[in-house]
Amino acid sequence: MWMTRHRNCEVLVVIFCVSELLTVGLLLFSHGFLLTRQVIPSNSSCDDFRDPKPDHRGETGHPSHTGGGCWMMPPFRKTIILLIDALRYDFALYNASLKDDDTLPYQNKMPVFGEIVKQHPHQALLSPFMADAPTTTMQRLKGLTTGSLPTFIDASLNFASEEIEEDNIIDQLVRHGRRVTILGDDTWGGLFPGRFSRSHLYSSFNVMDLHTVDRGVLSHLGEEMGRGDWEVIVAHFLGVDHCGHRYGPNHPQMATKLAQMNEAVLQVIAGMDNDTLLLVLGDHGMTQTGDHGGDSREEVEAALFVYSPALHLPSPPVHTLPVAQVDLVPTLALSLGVPVPFSSLGKVMEDVLVTAGMSAEEAEKQRHLGLHLNVQQVKRYLTAYRELGNSYPQDLWHKLELLEGKALEKSSVGGQRTAFSEYLTLAKLMCEEIWARFDVQEMLSGLCLMLSVLLMAGLLIHSSALTDIKTHIIKRLLILTVVVNLLFALSLSFGFVIFGYAANVLILLWMYAHRQHLTVSQLDFKAIDCIPLLLVSFLLLGSFSNSFVVVENYVVAFILLSCITLYLLLLMLEIVSKKLSSGKMLKVFGNAFSVTCGTGWAAAVVCVRCSGWFWRCREEQHWCLPGQAQVPLSGLPQHLHNWRYFTSVLPLALAVWLPRRWLLLCGNLNGSRVGVVLARTVPVACSVLVAVWWAIQAVMAAHNLDLWGHVIPPRVIYAATAVHVAVLACVPLLIYELPPAASRKSQPLVSDNPSTLIPHLYKSLMEKYRTQNSKGPTIPIVYGLATGLSASMVAVLMVVVVVVVLVAGDGLSGAVLLLVLVAAASLLLQALWKLKTCHNLKELARPGWSAACLWFTLSIHGFYLTGHQPTFPALHWSAAFVGVEGAQSVGNWAPALLVGLNTYSSYLLLGLALPLVVVAPLALSVVFPSLRGSRLEGDEISRGEFLLVEEPDMLRESLMSTALSYIFLQAAKVFCTSLAAFVLRRHLMLWKIFAPHFIFEAVGLIVTLLSVLAGLGFTLRVQAALASWGERLVKAA
Ligand SMILES: [Zn+2]
Ligand SMILES: [Zn+2]
């Protein structure tokens, strides 16, 4: 027993070490690829830059207040900022030529901006307000307050609400005695704890809730404006954004919401003083489906409306120029008389600094001064950033210095202003470029590390090392892994590049030292292996082409179908050639075997073809029409509710009923063992709860209820799943032994009930012992022994599938069923192929590359099938709220985990189910004896999976080789996407296509590694339990 456990552990150690080393390589590459911006902890202060001509101050004619301005005389005393989340530019435009009947729900609903601009062209302006991607609210708030540019990796930190430590406008205001009142989204409270003099914050967490935040803001806004104790009011409305997430922009609710916002803006304008500046702005836009996060025009083009009775803008230009969102920070700072935050890269909107009381000459000076201060501040930041050891592109830096010199040379004020403007624009451009810069050496060493681990995995699969695995090799592999990780930890202070190459050398040395064991003994690739491998390698090479990545869902479906069809063709060929040689041509297509083949193939083809219903459109797929699967039940029109509910519950029921039927057929749900009772009840109960929960959600949404009950069902399901999995891991046997007394009565070892199969597989084993025992009166009857190995896994998968459906949402339950069906059909075809062609158990239990390719393609297909795309806007954020009520009650990890589960459900399911690939042929041959190939000896194989329990070494070897092949293919895909990101790092589409593709694949690999390890560990646990059960039985006999 101890030996079994020990050897089982060795298998896990091998897989763990390979996974770990791969992960280290991947991390190394990512660290070089996804560089983050260095934050400088300095703050700007009043004394940094002084108004060069102090006598100039008194002339502006504006009264000095709260100690006057810092760098220059502030034109405004107070500011009101209305932040309407996701206010897209075209939501704010007014198009008089559109008739009321022709307008879309989001058009012409905010006429206030157009009217004010028309009435007061010198006091108001409306322009596009360009966000920098990623367009998530958190990143935008950081950009809007610090004036700095986000870096790519910031996108994934959306859930990690953390205090802003970099110099920012809120801190500058507070430091200089301005009182800031905040209303609305509680994200502000997390970003700036303790800064606001007064606050009314509401949870932004529930995107389904359109009204709580807005109503809260509106109920306090008038009262707050009437108080005298503020200089800045920030009111953050969330309704428009949440309406987008829930219904999309094309929904009557959006019209209502925008009209409400219009009313709010009107009221604020009516209650404004003359020396107050009003800014109405969106932090980002939204796509046609109401999402945001990416960098499409619809997402980055928000609206900005500026108005003050005291403003004096120059005559409006013919075209409104877009304003960058970072420009808000210097504009706000200078117009309120506080220093511009240290790291701000924005360019002040100099026209907003000019008020009606100034003469033309004063106005010109005011603009000039604003820009000059702005240039000095940006230059100081660039210099400080360079002094930290960062370098700029030589040509751009040189050009900046030239521009600065030119500005000082210019005699005319206008000429200087142009040069200042150019300087600021170029500085921002340069920073955008350097923050998209990579550590090439680190990326290279990460790639090398991954490549050598891939080589090691490939050699392990094909060498004799797996056949008779030596303990000392495994020990050394473990030591190698530990050393590499120690090096990794050390390199945190020495730099990663040297570490990367050192680790690489170590791995190569290890392989060289074990070359005897790692020599490839024989490479016999058959057609069934070569063709899928060729197809998969096309898929891998496709990572280098942007148009290929865009249509990857189509390509993967095609490859999957090709692999499945290849199985059918080769099987048919096999049958025909055999029949031909035996001269019996007649019954080729009529027998059970070919009928099963055909059915399995047809089912797989239909399921793969149907997957198109659930695909999500990428922005680049112009031809693609979004389906309704992504819309939750509550978002659908009323008349579709019943239809949707039915089409969601039915697949869920089937996804549970089919595996349950299988377990019943195998006899694994008999008796009263704890595991059996759970497997009989938990999946069914959970699926009923899911159906109930969908109904609750729909009712709640229709009647705007806030039922406490909507978090209870998911939590019960999570808990039940955890218990189910934990219990099955402890007592994994799903078999039932009739007591010997009963067996004596019904002497023939076949049950009276023909519907339950009673494999009397233990017979042969018992006979072996009976010879020693001479008389054996007690031969037990055991239900479900022949599938004892896979049954527990199937029982676990059943309940995992229910959780996956729960998190995927009601629209996608059909997709999960399709995934389960295609997986089952693939297992069937692969098992049939094995049964037809194998000569012995050893061959039968080793699935080979063809099965790994099939499983690998299926995992990627499943990713697309469940409505995903490797782009950030395509993430299903709604999954974060399944069973989670508010941000306060749980940390950030629960929502992140749920979104992860939603995104990577196919990688998780297929990784866990990988051991089924090994045991499927044996299970099938027992349950359907007519499918057994003639080449396999009848008596042996009737013991089914128990054969592998008796031959643990064979089981370990084939589990290891299957897991390694599967991991090899997944890692090869990640390697190719990394290499593509490396080679194409200057490609126009890098941040749009290649980088997100890499990130999604990399996380997918991590999920795969973890789930393969878990699945393997579980199967080995079942094997050990079955083996010890057998030993006990033999002793008892
Ligand atoms: Zn937002
Ligand atoms: Zn949003």
Q: What is the pLDDT of residues 931-973, one digit of tens each?
A: 776 666 555 666 778 778 888 888 888 999 999 999 999 999 9
Residue 609 has pLDDT above 50, yes or no: yes
635-694 confidence digits (pLDDT tens) = 777 788 888 899 999 999 999 999 999 998 888 888 888 888 999 999 999 999 999 988
Burial environment of residue 518 by CB neighbours within 10 A (0 to 12, 13 to 18, 19 or more): buried
Residue 56 has pLDDT above 50, yes or no: no
Residue 888 has pLDDT above 60, yes or no: no
The H or E element spanning position 219 is helix 212-226
Determine the Cα–Cα distance for residues 593 and 92; give it in Å rounded to an integer.
Answer: 66
CA dihedral sign, ordered 175, 178, 181, 185:
negative
Determine the Cα–Cα distance for residues 913 and 824; give it in Å rounded to an integer.
Answer: 10
Residue 151: what pLDDT? 65
Residue 554: what pLDDT? 94
Ligand 2 centroid to residue 617 C-alpha, Å: 19
Determine the Cα–Cα distance for residues 466 and 965; give it in Å rounded to an integer.
Answer: 12
User: For the ranges 208-212, 355-359, 632-636, 977-981, which has the lowest average pLDDT?
Assistant: 632-636
Which residue carries 């891991």 as its tokens? 729
Ligand 2 centroid to residue 136 C-alpha, Å: 7
Largest Cα–Cα distance of the chain, in whole Å? Answer: 119
What is the distance of C-alpha 252 from the center of its chain? Answer: 31
Residue 1021: what pLDDT? 92
Among residues 266, 279, 179, the alpha carbon closest in space to that of 227 is found at 179
pLDDT band at 722 (very low <50, low <70, confident <90, very high): very high
Ligand 1 centroid to residue 138 C-alpha, Å: 7
**What is the three-class DSSP state of 782?**
strand
326-366 confidence digits (pLDDT tens) = 999 999 999 999 999 999 999 999 889 998 888 888 888 88
For helices 239-247 and 252-270, the axis angle rounded to 10 degrees is: 170
995-1031 confidence digits (pLDDT tens) = 889 999 999 999 999 999 999 999 999 999 888 888 8
CA dihedral sign, ordered 461, 463, 465, 466:
positive
pLDDT band at 2 (very low <50, low <70, confident <90, very high): low
Across 172-195, average pLDDT: 91
Determine the Cα–Cα distance for residues 254 and 710; give it in Å rounded to an integer.
Answer: 25
Looking at the CA of 83, name the nearest ligand.
1
Looking at the CA of 290, name the nearest ligand.
2
**What is the three-class DSSP state of 277?**
strand
Ligand 2 centroid to residue 508 C-alpha, Å: 48
- Of 929 and 1015, more confident: 1015
Q: What are phi and psi of 738, to 5 degrees?
A: -75, 140
Residue 1016: what pLDDT? 94
Q: Indicate left, alpha or beta for 290 from its phi (over 0: left) and psi (-120 to 50: alpha).
A: left
Angstrom distances, CA of residue 740 to CA of 553, 671, 775, 995:
56, 15, 14, 64
For helices 552-582 and 592-610, the axis angle rounded to 10 degrees is: 170
Ligand 1 centroid to residue 305 C-alpha, Å: 17
Across 510-517, average pLDDT: 84
User: For the ranges 376-390, 602-616, 768-782, 846-860, which has the lowest average pLDDT?
Assistant: 768-782
Residue 521: what pLDDT? 67
Determine the Cα–Cα distance for residues 385 and 586; give it in Å rounded to an integer.
Answer: 82
Helices (H), 734-812: 740-745, 762-773, 788-808
Looking at the CA of 284, name the nearest ligand.
1
Determine the Cα–Cα distance for residues 760 and 943; give it in Å rounded to an integer.
Answer: 8
**What residues are neighbours of ligand 2 (ion), with CB under 5 Å?**
241
Across 240-254, average pLDDT: 90
Across 93-116, average pLDDT: 90
483-494 confidence digits (pLDDT tens) = 988 888 887 767
Looking at the CA of 87, name the nearest ligand.
1
Q: Looking at the whole model, is its pTM more than 0.85? A: no
Per-residue burial over 301-335, b if 16 or more Cβ lie within 10 Å, else e, is bbbbbbbbbbbebeeeeeeeebbbbbbbbbbbbbb
463 DSSP 8-state letter? B
Q: What are phi and psi of 168, to 5 degrees?
A: -150, 170
Ligand 2 centroid to residue 246 C-alpha, Å: 10
Ligand 1 centroid to residue 203 C-alpha, Å: 14
Across 837-849, average pLDDT: 82
Ligand 1 centroid to residue 635 C-alpha, Å: 20
Residue 102: what pLDDT? 84
pLDDT band at 773 (very low <50, low <70, confident <90, very high): very low
Ligand 2 centroid to residue 488 C-alpha, Å: 38
Ligand 2 centroid to residue 195 C-alpha, Å: 25
Angstrom distances, CA of residue 769 to CA of 941, 998, 1032:
19, 57, 13
Residue type, 664: L
Q: Residue 533: which residues within 8 A CB-CB, separation 6 or more?
A: 525, 849, 853
Residue 474: what pLDDT? 85
* Chain length of the chain: 1037
Angstrom distances, CA of residue 55 to CA of 76, 650, 804:
19, 80, 70
Residue 783: what pLDDT? 74
Residue 620: what pLDDT? 81
211 DSSP 8-state letter? S
Which residue carries 């938990």 as its tokens? 682
Residue type, 560: L
Ligand 2 centroid to residue 911 C-alpha, Å: 32
Residue 917: what pLDDT? 93
Question: Per the structure block, which two tokens stand in for 806?
Answer: 């729960």
355 DSSP 8-state letter? B
Residue 106: what pLDDT? 93
The H or E element spanning position 475 is helix 471-494
Ligand 1 centroid to residue 209 C-alpha, Å: 15
Angstrom distances, CA of residue 211 to CA of 184, 203, 215, 257:
11, 11, 6, 9
For helices 2-33 and 440-462, the axis angle rounded to 10 degrees is: 150
Helices (H), 704-787: 712-730, 740-745, 762-773
Determine the Cα–Cα distance for residues 57 and 103; give it in Å rounded to an integer.
Answer: 50
User: For the ranges 390-399, 466-475, 768-777, which has the lowest average pLDDT?
Assistant: 768-777
Across 101-114, average pLDDT: 91
Ligand 2 centroid to residue 292 C-alpha, Å: 6
> Does 134 sit behind a cis peptide bond, omega within 30 degrees of 0 on the bond before it?
yes
Determine the Cα–Cα distance for residues 381 and 42; give it in Å rounded to an integer.
Answer: 9
Do 884 and 890 form a contact (C-beta atoms < 8 A)?
yes
Question: Per the structure block, which two tokens stand in for 245?
Answer: 């997430």
Q: Residue 901: which residues within 8 A CB-CB, separation 6 or more?
A: 803, 804, 807, 879, 908
For helices 995-1036 and 712-730, the axis angle rounded to 10 degrees is: 50
Ligand 2 centroid to residue 249 C-alpha, Å: 12
Looking at the CA of 287, name the nearest ligand.
2
Q: What is the mean pLDDT of the chain?
A: 84
Q: Residue 1027: count other Cβ atoms within 10 Å of its Cβ.
A: 18
Across 837-856, average pLDDT: 86
Q: Residue 230: which residues within 8 A CB-CB, separation 6 or more?
A: 78, 179, 180, 181, 197, 198, 224
Question: Angle CA(987)–CA(871)–CA(137) in degrees, nearest 5?
Answer: 105
Counting residues of the chain whose pLDDT is more than 70, the rounded percentage is 87
The DSSP line for 395-450 is: HHHHHHHHHHHHHHH--SHHHHHHHHHHHHHHHHHHHHHHTT---HHHHHHHHHHH
793-822 confidence digits (pLDDT tens) = 999 999 999 999 999 988 899 999 999 999
232 DSSP 8-state letter? E
Across 514-521, average pLDDT: 77
228 DSSP 8-state letter? S
Ligand 2 centroid to residue 974 C-alpha, Å: 30
628 DSSP 8-state letter? S
Determine the Cα–Cα distance for residues 655 and 647; give it in Å rounded to an integer.
Answer: 13
Counting residues of the chain whose pLDDT is more than 90, the rounded percentage is 42
Across 459-472, average pLDDT: 77
What is the distance of C-alpha 434 from the center of its chain? Answer: 26
The DSSP line for 300-340 is: HEEEEEEE-TTB-PPSPPSSPPPEEGGGHHHHHHHHHT-PP
Looking at the CA of 88, name the nearest ligand.
1
Q: Residue 635: count other Cβ atoms within 10 Å of its Cβ.
A: 21
User: For the ranges 1-5, 343-347, 904-908, 970-974, which has the lowest average pLDDT?
Assistant: 1-5
Instruction: Looking at mean pLDDT, say which of 39-53, 216-230, 457-471, 519-533 comes out highest.
Output: 216-230
Residue 1006: what pLDDT? 96
Q: Residue 285: which residues within 8 A CB-CB, separation 6 or more?
A: 86, 87, 88, 89, 131, 135, 292, 298, 299, 300, 301, 302
Residue 522: what pLDDT? 65
Question: Per the structure block, which two tokens stand in for 180?
Answer: 């800031």
Residue 591: what pLDDT? 75
Ligand 1 centroid to residue 188 C-alpha, Å: 12
User: For the ranges 303-312, 653-662, 765-774, which has the lowest average pLDDT?
Assistant: 765-774
Among residues 515, 485, 516, the alpha carbon closest in space to that of 502 is found at 485
Across 179-183, average pLDDT: 95
Residue type, 428: K
Residue 572: what pLDDT? 87
Per-residue burial over 135-153, b if 16 or more Cβ lie within 10 Å, else e, is bbbbbbbbbbbbbbbbbbb
